[in-house]
Amino acid sequence: MADARFIQPDRHPSQKVRPGGPSMEAAILSAVNAADDLIGQYQGWAVDDLEKLWQAFIETSQKGRADPVRLQELYDMTHEARGQGGSFGFPLISVVGDSLCKYLDGLHRLKARDLDVIKVHILAMKAIFRQELKGQQGGLTKELHQLLGLFRQKVEARR
């Protein structure tokens, strides 16, 4: 085994940092402003994403069936909406999206009642967004979580 040796850098890392950068307060303010801009942009993204999800559902329901690729697309769109909802101040969209993801996970084919479950979830997400139910909604979050869980269980029991 070769002897270990210590390599001394030519300059200390502190000598490589240029002085005169933004202050800590300015950097934080810049980050907050960037986040505010993203939240403003989210409104448009959410409308587009929920509309794409709705259109995918409509196409699927018109066919009356879905192949595994389409089911994965529905899952991926729902998963995206779930994550963005929580990140941008709509935790109820995350609750509904999580419920739909759980329902779609492992689903290989659709029956009419499956389409009903998907429809209810998408309409709930759209309603939450339209009503601007931002932030924590107290007991509503827990009740919605429980209600959707019971709804999924009831339909899954009939499969």
Domains defined for the chain, CATH in brackets:
24-157 (1.20.120)
Contact by Cβ (8 Å): 159, 118: no
Give pLDDT, residue 76.
94
Give pLDDT, residue 27.
67
pLDDT of residue 97 exceeding 90, the answer is yes
Token couple for 53: 């999800």
DSSP conformational letter for 83: H
pLDDT of residue 141 exceeding 80, the answer is yes
Give pLDDT, residue 32.
65
Poorest-pLDDT segment among 2-16, 61-75, 108-122, 141-155:
2-16
pLDDT-based confidence at 93, cuts 50/70/90? very high
Give pLDDT, residue 99.
96
Place of tokens 């939240």: 39
| Cα–Cα distance measured from residue 97 to residue 108, given in angstroms and rounded to the nearest whole number | 19
Residue 157 carries which side chain, given as an amino acid letter?
A
Contacts of 17 (CB under 8 A, 6+ apart): none
Contact by Cβ (8 Å): 90, 128: yes
pLDDT of residue 101 exceeding 70, the answer is yes
Token couple for 24: 């800590």
Give pLDDT, residue 41.
59
Give pLDDT, residue 55.
93
Token couple for 152: 């999924």
Give pLDDT, residue 117.
92
pLDDT-based confidence at 79, cuts 50/70/90? very high
**pTM of the shown model:** 0.71
pLDDT tens digits, one per residue of 18-53: 666 667 776 676 666 665 665 565 566 667 888 999
134: buried, middle or exposed (CB in 10 Å: 19+, 13-18, 0-12)? middle
Token couple for 38: 């993203």
Query: How large a percentage of the chain has pLDDT more than 90?
Result: 28
